[in-house]
Structure 1
């Protein structure tokens, strides 16, 4: 480790995308130590992540409460100005078809190597069921019918969930059904996952519980209209998110803070349900040792740490830590490791590479609350589950809050609020990223304001058709098609956005950072 930040000069060229492109870094060189950064007593350099004891409560919880209140205020203001007709940037758009990305734009949307396949308006998603000004979007997931291969997008709205078939022609998608929120209570947060052809849906709406919807009901239908859930699980009330492991028929409700029985909230941790019988979820326990879990990825582990091969492991994003849990340990769910990191503000979400050796993570509040307000992605070495190491931080070109990301092959697909969908190539050997494509779903902002929760909420990159859906908070559902060949060509030609590689020694004096490559 060295005690400096290397920032190489950038070459600016005007490329085929119709605007300046940042590209062509010098090769990454070895820093030289100086007298201001000595190695004392031959001690190894420290890293900027560190193990910490678990806690059922943490300071980031208060920051998140404030952020949620800010989001609610922003949503209410958006709805009010829509009703008054005073904010054209929030006016609903109409459904439209394919628009190619040409010279850096697809219609009004800045883009690179991604075309618009179709766009579905809020009114169409909502089937005109609710108040015309109460239609903001949030999370999404997808389902492929195992019988006929048809693809569906499941998109959350403030007042319910919309089911959209995009097969056989994604350019003419069909809204097949709409499931209202429990008790008709709206919320800015709604989340869903799929196990065994059933959607499991939670919300921050008071008393919402878990809605179970049999997705095979959609097969062969053109319009079911407004539908009811097949089952309603009520052992908890609100929840912030839901996670699934299809291999074990398990869903994990996270961020529950209200329940008829206080214990059933699991202190906001993993509320675990066996859904082997899809319409009869069975509570199988809690993981609550580390308090509130905001999001997680749970899977049957097959990575490089042979100690845990075949075990169900959850990588939990717990507001101020990455917490790795063995959910099926003999004595109940057990923490394998819990690590915090320098500069953390709100540990939000992340995803593993396909070989499960590298983990990419985002922090939803580090852009607003740190001096450098560019979007950043944390890149972890998780070859040892008991000793995760933060190897690098990728700084993006623009200022925007990051939200959700998912990995498919060598690419990570990030929904980064005001700058939309960003696609980055993963270099696992060097723990680095290179942006190779983007599509901005919120043109009114240009990536210069790091404190606005506008634009893209989430995405899903695994559909066989190659369509990548993106949920827009303000406008609706975008169906996009990344140009994989163009992305790879740009990567090979080193045409990608600004990057900054960092390597910090926590024992170094602050005045040694930043520094130029020659002065390290």
Structure 2
């Protein structure tokens, strides 16, 4: 028998590669880059008739079987080469391994019964029945009790679940049924229940399979990040755990005892704030959740109190601590010896020994001290613990820790005084408590929004922001909006309405303020601080739809990671804004067009209007032809003209300003509308992202500004807050002008340096005009 000895010096390996660990130790390791120059996919386990345990490992170029007869000295005993693929998943029924891949190898079946006497193992490849063949699949789940295999994500139909009888003849599966309503990424089955993880639709499904030939859908449940990757269920069909393969997402536990009425029990994530991605989760002994967690390695969570999941062990297999698709792909916690397996994509196979220690639990009720009613959404955090729990609708909270001794627990809710409670934690002990939070006495503020004539502006949007909270309102028929505020001090107040220039500024607000008057200047301006009624449509595309929001940063910066610097607030319109910090391709425009329409604006009374906006456009993807566009049109209700087309050159990772003299393109009317279209046309599907921000109408060409090398005056800092420093080569008169053309300052520049005070000016864009030159700057 040819064997390859794979053990590395355990001491050296721990010193160089074990990055962090809790209650798990390294027993053995296989370096597959050294062995086969391959990366790893999934892993599974097998026990032969003599009791020897094995690790089955899917790799990018084949399937490996490793003997764990001496787990500290693992030995590969079988290698089956395969077509290269980054997906190769496997499970076991009896003495047979079943391996799927998204290459065109079909279902590989390996007869392992000759082990350990011989490593010459019979194999075959199954491609489905005649007339209904398939050649690739994403995953396989095997119900070992009944002898049923469930193929997920095959290249047939919608890629749902194909049900195979493997108990009749394990080397020759028989297709008996299919559930093909949606693509399925992963599945779990036992008894008469089948559970599906539908990653594209973002939900868990429950399916009755008393008759395997006729699966019947019972219920669905959307998971927290709507990207349902994996599902595993307790032996009594009471609880199911899911993962969303999204940066910063959760392990989520559901009560599935009533499969048509699924409800969440608890959720938790590893390394909150670091955007780590969960991958596959398994339930061990109905009391532990073992997960492969990409760059966090392997994690184990106690679920003996299902509403209070607590991480009790972990082993980091990967040097990175970022939200990327590196690190531990697979985990296998079911070996009889208690050893656990982890397959790290680049670092190899890890054989681990866990130590199970019960956490310390702290649970109870949070109430309002004034009336003893329960409080929801109170954050509860143990000091020096990154996990935060929120009290539920009944005011109940539940947290836990692996650290014994007295620790501080912080209770916080907006509009209540925070409270810290000392708790003496002990492993395995539950402490119950009742916490009463004292409400902060509010103070009243009336915001009056008026026009330049002092007349009230009805239905104006008002937002008041402090670090602790944001409150919004809308003015009544008298231009008034009443607020109950809780935190005196510096506040950002923003007010706006379509047909006026949005105003944002800093104010010191307290109980003595009473009334705040904000004056809005007529004009058309929208930085998307508020929803002024832009509308969006899509043709073909199902992702990358236009949406107003605070841009979410993606690691590749193809999508806008922030809004324009030159406006109020943090909002913009972007094509897709899903919470995924790994890749913009997750929610970009694909295989279609998305169009954004402004509200109608009246330019009939403006003598010589100019249009200004800032746009973001990115189009790029590897070898694919870059052929997609961002087109911007202007309509006057009668005709429509194209203002500009952003070519598919990609890499414009910035907000690009644009200014147009409207009458050069179209006759201004009372029915003007801006139209923004992004196309990601077939056949070349690229990463296509766009954004629009800082739309306004002005009476001057803002971009007809002097370039720095032509300027006789220069300003700094830009943006500026309290004062603007100006360098001039001569004595000159200056004006500060708003985008609407209102002159707000007039003064004199000295030859050399001059400081212009900005106190009293609203935050926003201004223009310094002097000697026929115009320089744009931002007042914070």
Tell me the distance in 1 between the aligned counterparts of 2:87 and 2:125.
20
Tell me the distance in 2 between the aligned counterparts of 1:321 and 1:473.
27
Higher relative contact order (CA 8 A, sep 6+): 1
Contact persistence 2:230–2:280 (CA under 8 A): yes
1:280 to 2:172 alignment: yes
Corresponding residue for 1:316? 196
1:353 to 2:241 alignment: no
- Residue 158 of structure 2 aligns to a residue whose secondary structure is helix
Query: How many Å apart are 1:377 and its aligned residue?
Result: 1.6
The change in CA–CA distance for 1:175 and 1:286 in structure 2 (over 3 A counts) is same
- Residue 267 of structure 1 aligns to a residue whose secondary structure is coil
Query: How many Å apart are 1:376 and its aligned residue?
Result: 1.9
Query: How many Å apart are 1:180 and its aligned residue?
Result: 1.2
The change in CA–CA distance for 1:503 and 1:362 in structure 2 (over 3 A counts) is farther
Contact persistence 2:232–2:282 (CA under 8 A): yes
Contact persistence 2:177–2:212 (CA under 8 A): no
Correspondence list, 1:294-443, <5 A: 294-300=185-191, 312-319=192-199, 320-329=202-211, 332-341=214-223, 343-365=224-246, 367=247, 373=248, 375-398=249-272, 399=274, 400-409=276-285, 410-429=287-306, 431-443=307-319
How many residues align structurally? Answer: 368
User: CA offsets per residue over residues 233-272 of structure 1, 9 Å max, x none?
Assistant: 3521110101111122110100012xxxxxxx24211111
Tell me the distance in 2 between the aligned counterparts of 1:406 and 1:440.
17
CA RMSD of aligned residues (A): 2.8
Contact persistence 2:252–2:266 (CA under 8 A): yes
- Residue 113 of structure 2 aligns to a residue whose secondary structure is helix
Tell me the distance in 1 between the aligned counterparts of 2:148 and 2:384.
39
The change in CA–CA distance for 1:339 and 1:347 in structure 2 (over 3 A counts) is same
Tell me the distance in 2 between the aligned counterparts of 1:496 and 1:408.
28
The change in CA–CA distance for 1:386 and 1:345 in structure 2 (over 3 A counts) is closer
Query: How many Å apart are 1:107 and its aligned residue?
Result: 5.4
Contact persistence 2:7–2:72 (CA under 8 A): no
Larger radius of gyration: 2
Correspondence list, 1:55-74, <5 A: none
Can you give the 5+ residue segments of structure 1 that lack an aligned partner in the other structure?
Answer: 1-93, 127-131, 258-264, 301-311, 368-372, 506-511
Contact persistence 1:158–1:186 (CA under 8 A): yes
The change in CA–CA distance for 1:166 and 1:338 in structure 2 (over 3 A counts) is same
The change in CA–CA distance for 1:355 and 1:248 in structure 2 (over 3 A counts) is closer
Corresponding residue for 1:54? none
Q: TM-score scaled by structure 1?
A: 0.65
1:203 to 2:91 alignment: no
- Residue 432 of structure 1 aligns to a residue whose secondary structure is coil
Tell me the distance in 1 between the aligned counterparts of 2:438 and 2:84.
56
Q: TM-score scaled by structure 2?
A: 0.44
Aligned with 1:176 (options 77, 93, 96): 77
Tell me the distance in 1 between the aligned counterparts of 2:222 and 2:214.
23
The change in CA–CA distance for 1:355 and 1:331 in structure 2 (over 3 A counts) is closer
User: CA offsets per residue over residues 138-160 of structure 1, 9 Å max, x none?
Assistant: 10111111x21111111000010
Corresponding residue for 2:66? 164
Query: How many Å apart are 1:356 and its aligned residue?
Result: 2.7
Structure 1 stretches of 4+ with a deviation exceeding 6 A read: 492-496, 512-517
Tell me the distance in 1 between the aligned counterparts of 2:290 and 2:384.
15
The change in CA–CA distance for 1:101 and 1:358 in structure 2 (over 3 A counts) is farther
